[in-house]
Amino acid sequence: MPRFDFFNTPKILFGRGRVAEIGPLAKSFGGRALLVYNGDQPGAGGPLDRASDVLRSASVEIQPFRQRGEPQVKDVEQAVAAARDAGCDVVIGLGGGSAIDCAKAVAGVLANGGSPLDYMEVIGQGRPIMKPATPWIAVPTTAGTGAEVTRNAVVGDPSKKFKASLRSELLLPRVALVDPEMGVGVPPAVTAASGMDALCQLIESYTSTGAQPMTDALALRGIELAARALPRVYRDGTDLDAREDMALAALLSGVTLTNAGLGAVHGFAAPLGANFPVPHGVVCAALLPDVMQANIDTLTVRSPNHPALERYATVGRLLSGWPDLDRLAAVEEGIDAARRLTRDLQCPTLGWYGVTDADVPAMVALAKRASSMRFNPVVLPDDELEEVLRCAL
């Protein structure tokens, strides 16, 4: 059995209606909260209002900060300044992965000083984070990134045309509060994209070179949940059973990715998200089937007995619901099932967001620098990476 490390959030509160507990939780860490949010606006009666009402009832003062789009260095710096000016002693990330990653980065920088770039991989100085983050609470409203339980915060820098992470176990939230009811009003397109992100993370962490026994168990359960729940919740956003299954799948994907790493899909996501207005989950949906195909084809030629091929077969059996398929049939069915799912969820192509054939070589060159790429089960040559990206246009 391989040696491995395992990182996890100290406390996870999961279940319907648990947002009612956020007031006392926040109060246990401080009395003034920077509330980083995205999605609905104040007064819309959505998750933001529900959480704000509970916080105020617990006598927690709120300094709101709206995160627009995926966080960039300037967003984190502005939020840190707002928190310091207001004397905030606790941070809350409420929303999708963008809000939660911003809150995570803010909590880390508040405690350690400086700029996000001081700590960012690849494009920053990569300095280690030495002090525990300012106490913060993660409250996801989408079932996608699993950022509520990851030890990295993804932040973009347009000047460097790249997204990269601040990474440390000291960035983990004190509490991840996962209430499936908070996702009921999420639009179908967002449900689809975020759900494909979660599924992709589960598949990539299961087939990653960093996979280990604990992440394997969680990833397999997550894939099973997402395969049956994602089509249902896309068709009916009020289906709370499906929302609950997807919330758990996303949570599990966050645990697995932070411990096992990801792969080529997320390697591409770093430059694509930094250079085009394409949501992260859309990148995952567009690339997942073709990355699976490229990995399987390359492994079959180079190393036909590679254990990752049996892992892809297991994925195929779970996605298809056919447990008795032999390896060859299961591998093919896994790719086909991923393609059908992206089609059924009406996920757009990358070309819809302005990515063209002329952009392919530059995006491949940037993607090879991404930390996720090193966990792909096989090293894909440039021509294969280019073909994968062209298939997603």
Residue ranges and CATH numbers for the domains of the chain are: 12-183 (3.40.50.1970), 188-391 (1.20.1090.10)
- pLDDT at 45 (0 to 100): 84
Per-residue pLDDT at 42: 84
Q: What is the pLDDT along the chain (393 residues), one digit of tens a residue?
A: 889 999 999 999 999 999 999 999 999 999 999 999 998 788 888 999 999 999 999 999 999 999 998 999 999 999 999 999 999 999 999 999 999 999 999 999 999 999 999 999 988 999 999 999 999 999 999 999 999 999 999 999 988 888 889 999 999 999 999 999 999 999 999 999 999 999 999 999 999 999 999 999 999 999 999 999 999 999 999 999 999 999 999 999 999 999 999 999 999 999 999 999 999 999 999 999 999 999 999 999 999 999 999 999 999 999 999 999 999 999 999 999 999 999 999 999 999 999 999 999 999 999 999 989 999 999 999 999 999 999 999
| pLDDT value for 1 | 80
Other beta carbons within 10 angstroms of residue 383's beta carbon come to: 9
Q: Do 206 and 223 touch, CB atoms closer than 8 A?
A: yes
